[in-house]
Chains A and B, each alone.
Chain A
Amino acid sequence: MTVADETKRLRLMIERLAAEADSDPVVVRYPPRFGRMRLGLYRRVRIAVGDVLRGLGLRARPVPKPWRVGLRHAERTEEAGPLVLWALGAERDALRRACLAFKAIEPELLPELVPVLVTDVTDFAFFSRLGWLVEYVPTLPAPAEGYAARKTRYLARRYRNAPVLPWSAGLEADFGTERIRRWIAESTTSAATP
């Protein structure tokens, strides 16, 4: 399978997983409370009044801050969006080579895109030095055997609108920024076509 085909397949799979994750109640089951239970009476009353005013449309609702994928110690990632490298089931040494290939062209992707590595490979001493966000998908023992699949679905939902590439793209002979952009464009067009 070519990288272009693999990218299209990946895009469709992520869309399917993300749709499945939409029905997972985990997101609504864990609403942020930001310490309300631990504040004093005065603060809690003020928050309650604010909630009422917002409910009546008399006060603007705070806009949630976006989830950013850059890391503080990685320069030029302040506003970067994710380029998801999907690396579940990758072989460790091959993944290292692919990551280094992406790392070599990273300056050309920044500040627009920064890689986010979705992987079940445990190679964190290497990953830490890449300066990328790592989304790890571990296999846990009983009773949490279902955790990996559930987290994968969650990550698909989290990054459903982001460009995604198979990790093995980094091993292609003609790998480069222009190819990446073309793969992304082709997969997006294809996935949008009914």
Chain B
Amino acid sequence: MTQRPAERPRVVFFSINGAGLGHLSRSLAYARRLRERADSFFFSLASAIDVIHDMGFPADYFVSEAWTRSESNAWERELLVRFGLLLEEVRPTVAVFDGTWPFQGFLDACDAYNVPRRVWSRRGLHRPGHGIVPVDERHFDLVIEPGELGTSLTVVRPRRPGRKVRTPPVTLLRDDELLDRDAARAALGLSSEGRHALLALGAGNLGDPTPAALGLIDELGRRGFDIACTRAPISIKDMPLPDNVRPLTLYPLARYLRAFDVFVGAAGYNTCCEVVQSGVPSLLVPNTVAADDQARRAAAVAKHARAVVSECLTTDERREAVDRLLALAAAAPPPRPALDGAQHAADELFALCGAGAAA
């Protein structure tokens, strides 16, 4: 039952600016599952405010530490005041940080305002040498670890502060929100006949996917595919595309993915979950610059979905990868693992809201 506004707890989601929209998408996934029970607000370092508004949530934006030319201390000082201002006006019960490293400005603002409950949504699977964060998880009431494919719900540490829960993978959309092939093609204006391929090799803000993308466009074009390529909302520049490639701005990708016979994408957390959820045969090209271990994640996806993994660095690699992808497309999809992590995370957050209100 929907709670009356006066009774509803308020949750502020603080999402960082990553290589893609993974952090923001996870926060949105939690907020959407909380929609009937709590009011969510966003403080986003990712410049994808339109996406948040489109999902029906209010949001503010602050430039990310990755984009600003301000030195770290100056940026943190500014962040502290900006986030403090939002906290004072929203007066949340819970503040949720989704990111690799909780910023000092976030922690200090929460301390100064005295936010009742704090949560860290901390994705794992970092590349060796990354993800070693000298922040004690016990500074948070709850740590949510959105799990990789095959993860089941696990309470790693039961007691607060620092209660830690590992969830199954988190997807932004529920299964029934994905369009089927015909509906998705109609929504995108694609012909109902013919073979369509979609490329989404990342925003291009972390590593340049252009050489691999252009090579794959060439390879798939020679196999008779009509090709579309995504333009990420947070891209700082658009990849130059051949005339025969259709640019598309798609969010959330999963809603439209079944329009395509094959998909080629980077192996970020969100994309991998969407590949498995949609069941579309996919070629995953891991981003080797990102902090997360995309190569390892892509290999895991290949066990749970019709997916091929290749860095696609050379013409031969791309040809061989597309050969394998097309062979795989004809095979039956493997059984799908649980993807209901967002619901479990939202339940944990809501339970914490109650604890915060009682505190």
Contacts and interface: CB of A to CB of B under 8 A. Distances in A.
Interface of A: 26-27, 29-35, 37-38, 64-73, 77-78, 122-125, 127-129, 131, 133-134, 136, 138-144, 146-147, 150-151, 154
Chain A interface SS verdict (over half): loop
Given A30-B108, A147-B86, A72 B81 contact: no
Interface stretch (B140-148, B151-159, B232-240): B232-240
Contacts of B58: 138-141, 144
B325 interface: no
A71 B68 contact: yes
Contact of A154 (B47, B85, B90): B85
A127 B233 CA distance: 10
Nearest to A125: B233
B175 interface: no
A59 B109 CA distance: 28
17 contacts: A26-B81, A29-B88, A30-B112, A32-B105, A33-B108, A38-B135, A64-B77, A65-B71, A65-B73, A72-B67, A72-B68, A78-B69, A124-B61, A138-B49, A141-B58, A142-B5, A151-B85
B81 to A, nearest CB: 5
B83 to A, nearest CB: 8
B123 to A, nearest CB: 22
A32 B73 contact: yes
Given A124-B49, A125-B50, A129-B238, 7 more contacts: A30-B81, A67-B78, A68-B71, A125-B249, A133-B63, A143-B91, A154-B82
B238 A128 contact: no
Interface of B: 5, 10, 39, 41, 47-50, 53, 58-61, 63, 66-71, 73-74, 76-78, 80-82, 84-86, 88-91, 104-105, 107-109, 111-112, 135-136, 139, 205, 231, 233-238, 249
A45 B236 CA distance: 44
Nearest to A130: B236
A134 B111 contact: no
A71 B86 contact: no
Given A125-B249, A147-B85, A134 B63 contact: yes
Given A30-B80, A30-B109, A71-B69, A150 B89 contact: yes
B47 A32 contact: no
A138 B69 contact: no
Interface centre among A29, A133, A144 (most CB of B within 10 A): A144
Contact of A33 (B91, B111, B237, B249): B111
B327 to A, nearest CB: 37
A29 B112 CA distance: 7
Contact of A66 (B53, B74, B105, B108): B74
Nearest to A128: B47
Contacts of A69: 69
A32 B77 contact: yes
Contact of B69 (A31, A70, A144, A154): A70
B113 to A, nearest CB: 8
Contact of B49 (A70, A71, A122): A122
B104 A35 contact: yes
Nearest to A138: B60
**Taking each of B53, B68, B76, B91, which has the highest tally of chain A beta carbons within 10 Å of its own beta carbon?**
B68
B111 A37 contact: yes
Contact of B76 (A34, A134, A136, A138): A34
The 4 closest A-B pairs by CB, nearest first: A144-B89, A30-B84, A70-B69, A65-B74
